[in-house]
C-alpha cells in the first residue's frame, strides 16, 4: 500500500500524516453531524405542525422525486413550497403529509418524517463511520507494515545509528 523504500521510520511518518488527514475529515463529519442535529432540534423546538397536501412532484436524477406541498400556516397564509430533498420513494400527488415549519418563518419547513428531518444527520453519521474505519484500517496496515520492515532487519535503532552491541 505505502512504498517507504523499506524504511520503518519513513513508513511511520507516512502513516502519521494519513492519520492526521483522516482524523481531520472525521472531525469535519462530526461537526457537520452535530450542527445538523442542532438545526433539527431548533426547528422542532420552534415549530408549528400542520397537515399539507402534495400538489405536484418534481423529478430529479435517477427517479428521485421532490414533492411540492401546499399547507396553511397558523395565521392563515397559504404556502406552496417544494421540498429540498429528492427521495425515492416519495409521497404521491394528492397525499396528505405532516409538515413542520418554523413559526417565525413558515418558509423554513420540512415534511415531518424521519428522512426529511434527519437526512443530513444520517449523511454525517455515514461519513463519520467511513472516516473512523479509514483511521482504524490505516493504523492496522501501518502497524503490520512497520513490523514487517523491522523483522526484515531494519530496526529503528539501526536506522538512527544507535548501536546497542558493545564495541570491541
Q: 10: Cβ–Cβ under 8 A, 6 or more apart, which residues?
A: 4
Q: Report pLDDT digits (tens) over 13-40.
A: 888 899 899 999 999 999 999 999 999 9
The predicted model scores a pTM of 0.71
Q: What's residue 60's pLDDT?
A: 86
DSSP letter for 166, please. Answer: P
pLDDT tier at 56, thresholds 50, 70, 90: very high
Q: Does residue 28 lie in a domain region?
A: yes
pLDDT tier at 143, thresholds 50, 70, 90: confident
Q: Does residue 140 lie in a domain region?
A: yes
Domain hosting 128: range is 8-157
pLDDT tier at 151, thresholds 50, 70, 90: confident
Its sign, for the CA torsion 91, 49, 124, 39, is positive
Three cell numbers at 73? 400556516
Angle at 111 (CA atoms; ends 110, 116), nearest 5 degrees? 80
Q: Does residue 2 lie in a domain region?
A: no
Q: What's residue 83's pLDDT?
A: 94
The count of structural domains within the chain is 1
Q: What's residue 43's pLDDT?
A: 93
Q: Does residue 57 lie in a domain region?
A: yes
Amino acid at each position: 500500500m505505502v512504498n517507504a523504500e523499506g524504511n520503518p521510520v519513513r513508513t511511520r511518518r507516512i502513516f502519521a500524516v494519513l492519520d492526521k488527514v483522516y482524523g481531520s475529515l472525521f472531525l469535519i463529519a462530526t461537526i457537520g453531524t452535530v450542527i445538523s442535529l442542532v438545526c433539527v432540534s431548533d426547528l422542532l423546538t420552534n415549530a408549528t405542525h400542520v397537515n399539507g397536501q402534495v400538489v405536484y412532484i418534481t423529478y430529479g436524477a435517477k427517479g428521485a422525486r421532490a414533492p411540492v406541498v401546499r399547507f396553511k400556516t397558523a395565521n392563515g397564509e397559504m404556502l406552496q413550497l417544494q421540498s429540498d430533498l429528492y427521495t425515492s420513494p416519495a409521497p404521491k400527488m394528492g397525499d396528505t403529509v405532516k409538515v413542520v415549519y418554523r413559526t417565525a418563518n413558515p418558509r423554513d419547513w420540512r415534511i415531518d418524517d424521519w428522512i426529511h428531518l434527519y437526512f443530513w444527520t444520517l449523511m454525517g453519521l455515514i461519513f463519520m463511520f467511513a472516516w473512523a474505519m479509514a483511521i482504524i484500517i490505516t493504523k492496522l496496515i501501518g502497524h503490520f507494515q512497520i513490523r514487517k520492515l523491522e523483522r526484515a532487519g531494519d530496526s529503528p535503532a539501526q536506522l538512527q545509528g544507535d548501536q546497542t552491541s558493545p564495541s570491541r
